[in-house]
Amino acid sequence: MTELPLFDPRTRLRRLRNVDRDIGSLGAVGGGCLLATFILFLLNSTLAVVPLAGFLVASGYGWYAHQAETARALTFLATASTILILGLITVYVFIEALPVLQRMGVRLFGFTEPVEFFGVTIIPSVESYWSTSQHTYSLIPMIWGTFVTTLIATAIAAPLGIAAALFLAEIAPPLIRETVKPGVEILAGIPSIVYGYLGFVVLNTFLYENLEMTNLGSLFLVGLVIGLMALPTVVSVADDALTSVPDSMRDGAVAMGLTRWQTMKSITLPAALSGVSAAVLLGIGRAVGETMAATVILGHIQKLPDPLQDVFDNTETLTSLIASQYGNADGLHMNALFTAGVVLFVTVLILSIAARRIELRMDRKLGGGQ
């Protein structure tokens, strides 16, 4: 009696071809539906929901019948969509800012009048100011306000955050660490409007009454509040970086006779410096992009402090400018607010590039130049 083969190669090949054809059809249908959804969305049509539903049905069937291939396609689609959406946002923001850039030119970064900085008078060559009625705009006061508040916030969040992360990762007993670490992460999730409201009601009143300030709201107070807001983020990310250092490195340092402080200073912190630097830059990024706390506290005056180094004076930041004026803006005024967004975009881009360069440099240093 002749035994039949366990499978027929021709039948198996036919099945594989059918599967490939099915996957190709699903990909064509899903891609077509997604493309139609995107086009109808750009056209501001309510019919965009129809192809979107078709894409969801095709994805659901693909997940049921060909899960591995569908997962691969969806992850690729998510990555490509992220890049595409980011590119479209960038192009849109720059296009919207172009009319003001063409109208104002270098005057967009000009001054209203000579500015005194630590006794030295800065005489600008270009004069400008922020006037929505005359469509004349200068971003210098807002850029200065953003710079000062970010500097103050970094001076608070960076050293305190790194010190707290070192304590939690290297010194704190397990009970204290397990209690404090979740609390720090909860603090990082509190909405910024809450911090801003508490800063305005409690700290603002305290500074006004005890320091005899002439106005409510100041750059110092905004920087202080934003620094406290960024502190949990710095602590959490830096702690994760420090705890990821292998225990063998600490044990080797202790075996060589180093104290706990020497181990932290010479072994743990340098080994985790890329992660700690990323934590600080994340805190700076939050300080630069913080909106609600600055909007609640500041008095929204579009002029430079007098003198320039007076951190207790009132002015505006780029984010608070956008938040406080976009509701009533149109025409060139709206374009000017988009220009403020461009400045923020470029600033965050520079911070991201700097963080990446620091990470690569530390990888080369700790990896022996490989």
CA distance linking residue 43 with residue 38, whole number of Å? 9
DSSP letter string, 260-328: HHHHIIIIIHHHTHHHHHHHHHHHHHHHHH--HHHHHHS----S--SSTT-TTS----HHHHHHHHGGG
CA distance linking residue 309 with residue 119, whole number of Å? 10
- pLDDT tens, position by position, 244-300: 888 777 778 777 877 778 788 788 888 787 788 888 888 888 778 777 888 888 877
* H-type alpha helices, the chain: 9-42, 49-65, 67-104, 140-166, 174-188, 192-198, 204-210, 219-243, 247-255, 260-263, 269-271, 273-289, 292-297, 318-325, 332-366
CA distance linking residue 202 with residue 196, whole number of Å? 10
Q: What single-letter amino acid sits at 234?
A: V
277: Cβ–Cβ under 8 A, 6 or more apart, which residues? 355, 358, 359, 362
- pLDDT tens, position by position, 320-333: 888 888 878 788 88
- Full 3-state SS string of 21-36: HHHHHHHHHHHHHHHH
Burial code (b: 16+ CB inside 10 Å, e: under 16) for 251-276 equals: eebeeeebeeeebbeebbbebbbbbb
CA distance linking residue 187 with residue 164, whole number of Å? 14
CA distance linking residue 284 with residue 351, whole number of Å? 8
CA distance linking residue 257 with residue 264, whole number of Å? 13
- Report the pLDDT value the prediction gives residue 129, as an integer from 0 to 100: 65
pLDDT in tens, the chain (370 residues): 444 454 556 666 566 566 566 677 777 888 888 888 888 888 888 888 888 888 888 888 888 877 888 888 888 888 888 888 888 888 998 998 888 888 877 777 765 555 555 555 555 544 446 767 777 788 888 888 888 888 999 999 899 999 998 888 888 888 888 888 888 888 878 888 888 888 888 888 787 777 777 667 788 888 888 888 888 888 988 888 888 888 777 778 777 877 778 788 788 888 787 788 888 888 888 778 777 888 888 877 777 777 777 788 888 888 888 888 887 878 888 888 898 888 888 888 887 787 777 767 766 665 544 4
- Report the pLDDT value the prediction gives residue 205, as an integer from 0 to 100: 79
CA distance linking residue 142 with residue 126, whole number of Å? 17
Distances (CA, A) of 228 to 186, 205, 209, 337, 347: 13, 18, 22, 27, 21
Taking the alpha carbons of 180, 183, 189, 190 in that order, is the dihedral positive or negative?
negative
